[in-house]
Amino acid sequence: MEQILSQDEVDALLKGISGGDIDEPEEQVEVEDLGYRIYDFSRQDKIVQVKMPGMEVVHDSFLRSIRGSLASTLRRIIDVTAVPMELERFGAFVRTLPVPSSLQIIKMDPFRGHALLILEPKLVFSFVENFMGGSGTRNVRIEGRDFTPIEQRLIQRVVKILLTDLEKAWSSIHPLSIKYIRSEINPQFAKICQPEDVVIINRYEVDMDRAIGSITICIPFSNLESVKNKLTTSFQKEQSEEDILITRILKENLKNIETDFSVRLGTVTLPGSDVLALEPGDILQLDQRKEDLLPAYIGGKLKFAGTPGIHRGNVSYLIKRRVTDPEKEDF
């Protein structure tokens, strides 16, 4: 049986709601109706694509270098094209790599951390077949097998060439010394950073007479913090082979230039009458003791501090330290 409120009960109920004695039930509002969406600040899925003209210079220089180097090494016509640079999370990038893959872990001194040089497996087998005298176009079963020691040794020839070209490509931005660390075939064992870290992906497609594969360079973005300003600068000076040769010649020529090297033994202040009265045999007492450091000048500029002495019967000067700030030195 339904219970029906009387008029007095309805009036009392309305009076209680208007007076605040009884709370009105709030209507549940959907988040979508307000135009909001839930956002987790602890995880940022969207990666902001940063423009890095300096990295593009390295990208293009490396492309031109490997095009000639690979063609000369394999003695074949090779076409290499570059894929636009990408920023991606390392975990997502690793999941796209097939097994096996030729993963070369490298160290780019003076940058901290490690980087990856990746050769697609079908490209590896094409290189190996070419080294063995084949055409490099035969279809090889990739899945379910590892690289043999012979295949790994042959592919190291290509890796060595690529690392040399990569050093040359970085020379216009920041001189590097790239060292090979080790090789892996499973991406799970090539963990150069955390899965959520952002990495720079530079990919190069190699077309070798119907045999197509990719060469990829993966560098954690945090490794390049020390040269971030250089990479984001819109203008980069690119040195040619001729410029590098001229710079080397100038440095060698500068090393052979003769200059004056003088050591000040001490000073003394005399009145003019005493100077006029000086005769051979007179002794002047200088303001330096024998244990004091004496200043040495190169081309009239204070550069070193040391002590005098005798070496193999000759008057000599022993350099104790280099003078970094001549204005603060008091001799």
Collect all residues with Cβ–Cβ distance below 8 Å to 118 and sequence separation of at least 6.
97, 101, 102, 103, 104, 214, 215, 216, 217, 218
Task: Please name the residue that has the structure tokens 């590097």.
Answer: 176
Integer CA distances (angstroms), 206 to 20, 79, 82, in order: 77, 6, 9
Exposed/middle/buried for 205, CB within 10 Å: 0-12, 13-18, 19+? middle
pLDDT given at position 90: 92
First to last CA, the chain: 113
Count CB atoms within 10 A of the CB of residue 183: 17
pLDDT given at position 1: 46
Mean pLDDT of 72-81: 84
pLDDT surpasses 90 at 166: yes
Phi, psi for 41 (deg, rounded to 5): -70, -15
Task: Please name the residue that has the structure tokens 């079908």.
Answer: 122
- The topology under which CATH files domain 258-267+286-331 is Surface presentation of antigens (SPOA) (2.30.330)
Angle at which helices 53-74 and 121-131 pack, to 10 degrees?
Answer: 30
Plot region of 48 (φ>0 → left; ψ -120 to 50 → alpha; else → beta): beta
Q: Which residue has the higher pLDDT, 233 or 289?
A: 289
Cα separation, 317 vs 305, whole angstroms: 9
pLDDT surpasses 60 at 309: yes
What tens digit of pLDDT does each residue of 118-153 get?
Answer: 998 888 888 888 777 765 555 555 565 677 888 888
pTM: 0.56
Minimum mean pLDDT range among 16-25, 53-62, 185-194, 221-230: 16-25
Angle at which helices 121-131 and 149-170 pack, to 10 degrees?
Answer: 110
Asked if 53-247 and 258-267+286-331 have one fold, the answer is no
Name the H helices within the chain: 7-19, 53-74, 90-94, 121-131, 149-170, 228-232, 241-255, 272-276
Mean pLDDT of 257-264: 90
Angle at which helices 53-74 and 149-170 pack, to 10 degrees?
Answer: 140
Cα separation, 310 vs 317, whole angstroms: 8
pLDDT given at position 238: 54
CATH node for 53-247:
3.40.1550.10
Domain segments of the chain as ranges: 53-247, 258-267+286-331
Name the H helices within 105-240: 121-131, 149-170, 228-232
